[in-house]
Amino acid sequence: MTASLLPKIPLALLAAGGLAAAASAQTTHFVDANLTTGAGNGSSWSAAFQGPLGLQSAITAAVAGDEIWVADGVYLPAAPGGPRTASFRPKNGVSIRGGFLGGETSPADRPPFGAAPAILSGDLNGNDGPNFTNQTDNSFHVINAAGTNGLAVVEGFTVTAGAATGGGGSNDRGGGILALSGTAPTILDCAFIGNRCTFGGGAGYVNGAPSFVRCSFEDNLGGSFGGAFDIANAGQISFDQCTFERNRASRAGALEVFSTSAARITNCFFKDNVATGGSGGGGLWFGSGGSSLVANCTVVENRANTQTQGGIRVQGAAPRIVNCVIWGNTGSGGASGSNNQVTPSANVDHCLVTGGFAGGTGNIGTAPSFANAAGGDYSLAAGSAGIDAGDSSVLPPTILLDLAGRGRLRDDPATPDTGVSGGQVAVVDMGAYEFQAGAVGVSFCGNTVNSTGSAGLLAGRGSETAADNDITLTASSLPPNQFMLLAVSASADLVPFAGGSQGTLCLGGAIGRYNGQIVNSGAAGSVDLSLDLTSIPAPSGPVAAMAGDTWIFQGWYRDAIFGIPVSNFTSALRVEFQ
């Protein structure tokens, strides 16, 4: 098949130097708290907005369609002595991205999260002490999401030292972020650490419908309700690939979900969270109506000091709890039986529970065989009873990756399928981590949903040893009977709507194309491609993968929406060769 049979897909954009034509029109505002020279107008890294208030200046200057790039440093919502009501306020259509070293030309050039921490702090006067002391002059909310929708993006920050300890209004809730009714910001790759409140939600208080992806919530203090989050009468709030550790509140050590039916908690990890009061729910508490979803989560070693359920307590609500590992949680007196894991009357299916679970379908009580719990690795080891034992039919179609960023729905040939495939390509595992039999690479840059209702996923299996020359890529969740071209590069980028596509091109630099392997997705919307690692295409000619190389792969495929020809991208797969 030749490129001429791929209309509406401008393949020239995948050639070296072709990315510039695909970039969308926008202004990028640069911020660097540590810079002391330059114009300070935000027009470049050398002229970045400066000082702790630099980010506030950039937010004021930005309009819809703009991006704000923020270098490492500490940023405040107000000058020392400023009002406690001061907060960072995201804007619709503006992406605020942190974690830059300064000098990068793409968000993909940033170091790993945490290497260059950009810190949003509520400690206005710089006088906080340990263990939440000296916070009577801190901002009530580090981030206030008032008026935002899903196009207000906050990515790559540490959010800390919010202290919602005031009286009146909402000043006693949501120390890290306040997202009241009608708000729906998108929060990506952020860490909420050491925030507090007196009413509920140390990390955040939510009546709205924000989305949290790949975020962590640690050491937050929630007062009466929800050490990390107090979610009350909320909309379609979602947490995916998030971790909750060492959060505390009287009721619900980590998450309280009150009178809310649309909350979705997937691929999340809960550990060492504590409910200190009589209502319990060391990990999660659901109450007063609502039928939210908890799917493929690992809830371990949480506790309730004076109540039975140290893992998940359900009190007058009806959440669906499915494909989870709920293990080693303790109730009052340190008890760790089945009743201490989850309320016996809860709606629980295909879960691995300490002591088993009498109701529901497909629940088991066999020890989960974690890979290395003592070392902090709670993924499933080979032979675990939780492998291929879940129910794939309940997995939301947009949830394609596990907590570690690897593909879901990976069959382990060595394990009999004891769960339900539900028409999917494989039976999902229990817990936040999918067992990866022979998997290679890490998926990233999840893309736009296509006409199937899912997003295209690219995964790999084989060996990451270059000399083995043994890698097969699988592209799945594609529209049936459509053509796909595989591209490859040694560097990453983020180019939305490249060439008029519906998705994001995640490759940068010199991009090679597998022109000889243009493939058809077939009736199943899935295709395998075996790679020759001795001949990786590049604009200057084929090259061989060597130990120490990193190569990034991504598929570009044709689609049709309402009969109109369009194109889209799969997720990208990063492979570090040995």
Is the pLDDT confidence value at 443 over 60?
Answer: yes
Predicted local distance difference test score (pLDDT) of residue 267 = 97
How is residue 50 annotated by DSSP?
A: E
- In three-state secondary structure terms, 327 is strand
Among 63-77, 332-346, 449-463, whose mean pLDDT is lowest?
449-463
Distance CA 58, CA 444 (A): 28
Query: Across all residues in the chain, what is the average pLDDT?
Result: 91
Give the residues across from 558 on adjacent strands. 567
Residue type, 170: S
Cα-flanking dihedrals φ and ψ of residue 116, to 5°? -135, 70
Predicted local distance difference test score (pLDDT) of residue 399 = 83
Q: Taking residues 10-14, what's their average pLDDT?
A: 41
Among 229-243, 302-316, 324-338, 434-448, whose mean pLDDT is lowest?
434-448
State the residue for tokens 């799945």. 476
The pLDDT tens digits of the residues spanning 476-509 come to 889 999 999 999 999 998 888 888 898 999 999 9
Predicted local distance difference test score (pLDDT) of residue 23 = 39
- In three-state secondary structure terms, 332 is helix
Predicted local distance difference test score (pLDDT) of residue 133 = 78
Predicted local distance difference test score (pLDDT) of residue 168 = 81
The pLDDT tens digits of the residues spanning 84-129 come to 999 999 999 999 999 999 999 999 899 999 999 999 999 999 999 8
State which H helix or E strand residue 475 sits in.
Answer: strand 471-476
Cα-flanking dihedrals φ and ψ of residue 556, to 5°? -120, 125
Q: In sequence order, what are the residues at sequence separation of 6 or more whose Cβ sits closer than 8 angstroms to the Cβ of residue 252?
A: 222, 225, 226, 227, 230, 275, 279, 281, 284, 285, 313
* Percentage of the chain lying above the pLDDT 90 cut: 77
The pLDDT tens digits of the residues spanning 187-227 come to 999 999 999 999 999 999 999 999 999 999 999 999 999 99
Residue type, 256: E
- CA-to-CA dists, residue 535 to 513, 519, 530, angstroms: 12, 18, 12
Predicted local distance difference test score (pLDDT) of residue 8 = 34
Predicted local distance difference test score (pLDDT) of residue 49 = 98
Kindly provide the b/e burial profile for residues 512-536, where b requires at least 16 CB atoms within 10 angstroms of the residue's own CB: bbbeebbbebeeebbbebebebeeb
Q: In sequence order, what are the residues at sequence separation of 6 or more whose Cβ sits closer than 8 angstroms to the Cβ of residue 353?
A: 326, 327, 338, 341, 342, 363, 364, 365
Of 448, 421, 433, residue with least CA distance to 382: 433
Please tell me the total number of residues recorded for the chain in this structure.
578
Give the residues across from 428 on adjacent strands. none
N-to-C CA span, the chain:
33
Distance CA 379, CA 139 (A): 38
Distance CA 196, CA 241 (A): 23
The pLDDT tens digits of the residues spanning 152-180 come to 999 999 999 999 999 888 999 999 999 99
DSSP letters for 15-35: STT-GGGGPPP--EEEEETT-
Contacts 24+ apart (CB under 8 A), 376-382: 378/269, 378/271, 378/298, 378/300, 378/325, 378/431, 378/432, 378/433, 379/404, 379/431, 379/433, 379/435, 380/429, 380/430, 380/431, 380/433, 380/435, 382/412, 382/414, 382/435
Predicted local distance difference test score (pLDDT) of residue 447 = 76
Distance CA 71, CA 74 (A): 9
Distance of CA 198 to the CA centre of its chain: 28
Of 210, 213, 203, residue with least CA distance to 176: 203
Predicted local distance difference test score (pLDDT) of residue 476 = 87
State which H helix or E strand residue 61 sits in.
Answer: helix 54-61
Q: In sequence order, what are the residues at sequence separation of 6 or more whose Cβ sits closer than 8 angstroms to the Cβ of residue 112?
A: none
Distance CA 202, CA 185 (A): 18
Q: Would you say 475 and 457 are in contact if contact means Cβ atoms under 8 Å apart?
A: yes
The pLDDT tens digits of the residues spanning 375-423 come to 999 999 999 999 999 999 998 887 888 999 888 888 888 899 999 998 8
The pTM for the full model equals: 0.83
- In three-state secondary structure terms, 568 is strand
Distance CA 175, CA 153 (A): 19
The pLDDT tens digits of the residues spanning 248-304 come to 999 999 999 999 999 999 999 999 999 999 998 999 999 998 899 999 999 999 999
How is residue 67 annotated by DSSP?
A: E
What is the SS3 assignment for 353-370?
Answer: ECCCCCCCCCCECCCCCE
Of 494, 502, 501, residue with least CA distance to 552: 494
Q: Taking residues 68-88, what's their average pLDDT?
A: 97
- CA-to-CA dists, residue 258 to 168, 271, 495, angstroms: 21, 21, 39
Of 430, 412, 426, residue with least CA distance to 370: 430
Residue type, 350: H
Is the pLDDT confidence value at 5 over 80?
Answer: no
The pLDDT tens digits of the residues spanning 292-330 come to 999 999 999 999 999 999 999 999 999 999 999 999 999
Predicted local distance difference test score (pLDDT) of residue 134 = 83
